[in-house]
Structures are given as structure tokens and as C-alpha cells.
Amino acid sequence: MRAQAHFGVVMRRRRDTLGMTQKVLGQLSQFNRSYVADLERGAANPSLGTILRIADALHLSAADLMQRVEFEIKRDRNYEPDPKQPLRNLKMKKKITKDGDTSGQVGAGDVGIVPRDA
């Protein structure tokens, strides 16, 4: 199951918990009901703006919504990452200054990306 399908599962579960129809969620988030249905089926890949609007309509912070999605992904042993998105398991390097300080303060030109397991 792909990440967007997990997003849809979490979205539908929260909507049902609130007793909301797809139409009402669509109205609150300013999307068509059919787009809400596509999101819930995992047929659409939500943008950051979509996630923010859906989270607000579901009375959640975007962070809480995505934390629930992450939990759902970890719970699913059949999760297969999308091979078209090879950068999703990366983290930022800490900036190391000349005096050896690794405070983690990273400036705009200092961002480095390394594999998570490095």
C-alpha cells in the first residue's frame, strides 16, 4: 500500500469518527466531494496545501494528521515505498564549524543530505 493510500485510511477514519460525510468534509476544506473520495481511496496524492486544509477541516493539526499517517504506515507490514521518490529516507547533515561545533545550526547554503542509515 502506498503512502497516499495510508493518508486516505487515516482521513476516512477521522471523518467517520466525527460523523462527517465526504460532502461536508469537502465543504469545510473547500474541495469537491469527488476529490475527497479520491484522497480517501489513495487515488490522489495530496499536496502540502491539501494536507493543511484537510487537517483543519478534521479538527487536527497537520502534524497530528501526518503522525497518524506515519503510524498507519509503520503498522502496515506490506508498505512499499514509491521507487520514484528516492529522497524520502534522507535527513539533513549537521553543520560542523571550523572549531568543531556541531550545534546543528544549518544555514541556507549549508544543507547537506545523506542517507538515513549513514
pLDDT of 115 > 60? The answer is: no
Length of the chain counted residue by residue = 118
Q: What is the pLDDT of residues 100-113, one digit of tens each?
A: 555 554 444 444 44
Rounded CA-CA distance 21/1 in Å is 24
Rounded CA-CA distance 30/44 in Å is 16
pLDDT of 78 > 80? The answer is: no
* Range from 4-8, 11-15, 99-103, 112-116 carrying the lowest mean pLDDT: 112-116
pLDDT of 18 > 70? The answer is: yes
Q: Which SS3 state, helix, strand or coil, does residue 115 take? A: strand
- Identify the bridge partners of residue 91 per DSSP, sorted by sequence position: 114
The CATH H-level (homologous superfamily) assignment of domain 3-75 is lambda repressor-like DNA-binding domains (1.10.260.40)
What's the pLDDT band for 75 if we cut at 50, 70, 90? confident
Mean pLDDT, rounded, for 6-19: 96
Helix (H) or strand (E) holding 22: helix 22-29
Mean pLDDT, rounded, for 77-90: 59
Domains of the chain, residue spans:
3-75, 86-118
Residue 76 or 10, more confident: 10
CA dihedral 68, 87, 111, 114 (to 10 degrees): 100
